[in-house]
Amino acid sequence: AQSVSQHNHHVILSEAASLELGCNYSYGGTVNLFWYVQYPGQHLQLLLKYFSGDPLVKGIKGFEAEFIKSKFSFNLRKPSVQWSDTAEYFCAVMPLSGGSYIPTFGRGTSLIVHP
Amino acid sequence: KAGVTQTPRYLIKTRGQQVTLSCSPISGHRSVSWYQQTPGQGLQFLFEYFSETQRNKGNFPGRFSGRQFSNSRSEMNVSTLELGDSALYLCASSPEISGAAYNEQFFGPGTRLTVL
């Protein structure tokens, strides 16, 4: 069965620091990749997605993620975080083969940004 | 557009009871998915409905079931509740663009179920 690993469960940063959250998945076939974010008191919402093409994708609020197929990774990055980026971040993988489209989510990374 | 709504927001039940949760998707969305979120397991996919048919199913026991109505509203039912069913149950709707695998999901606030 496929799995998604988010290595950092809790990350604490100061404003203006750079952010990189790791996401690795185990699935040999073609996948679609997503990062979702949940701000305090709000619903889960899409941050960015990768379907095909340029492996460097840009999302909302200055976030970007790079798909490295050889490493089965889809890491999330932001050059300079803000206090408002405090949230929980989830990586999700959707397999494209087998005819059964069941997404697998990572367990999430809690990010706290100190002002 | 109004977002995904879920009712009730909180629910307390005892072991052995059954429960029904409701989800109203964003207007125009025909795909509705359900997830169970717990601290230990994270977000786990329960099932997805599209046009009143279950299209995908996760690895949960048969006590977990669902259905979708012609207006795309969906219900999820859990029978014979167990303590381990305590969780946040999330509903997500999707526009059907180029197939299920390409759908961005729009999540609701969830129903917090506590089983005593």
Q: Is the Cβ of B60 closer than 8 Å to some Cβ of chain A?
A: no
Burial of B53 (0-12, 13-18, 19+ CB in 10 A): exposed
From chain A, the residues in CB contact with B108 under 8 A are 43
B interface test, pick of A35, A38, A46, A100 with most B CB neighbours within 10 Å: A100
User: Contacts of residue A32 in chain B, CB cutoff 8 Å?
Assistant: 101-102
Residue B98: what pLDDT? 63
**For B7-41, how does the pLDDT look when each residue is reduced to its tens digit (9 = 90+)?**
999 999 999 999 999 999 999 999 999 999 998 88
Put simply, the answer to whether B101 touches A96 (Cβ < 8 Å) is: yes
CB contact under 8 A, B3 and A43: yes
Residue B97's pLDDT band (cuts 50, 70, 90): low
Poorest-pLDDT segment among A34-43, A49-58, B57-66, B92-101: B92-101
List of chain A residues with pLDDT < 50 = none
pLDDT of amino acid B42: 87
Residues ≥6 apart with Cβ < 8 Å to A54: none
Average of pLDDT values for B89-113? 86
The answer to whether A113 and A62 are in contact (CB under 8 A) is no
Under the banding of pLDDT at 50, 70 and 90, the label for residue B101 is low
B93 by Cβ neighbours in 10 Å (0-12 / 13-18 / 19+) ranks as: buried
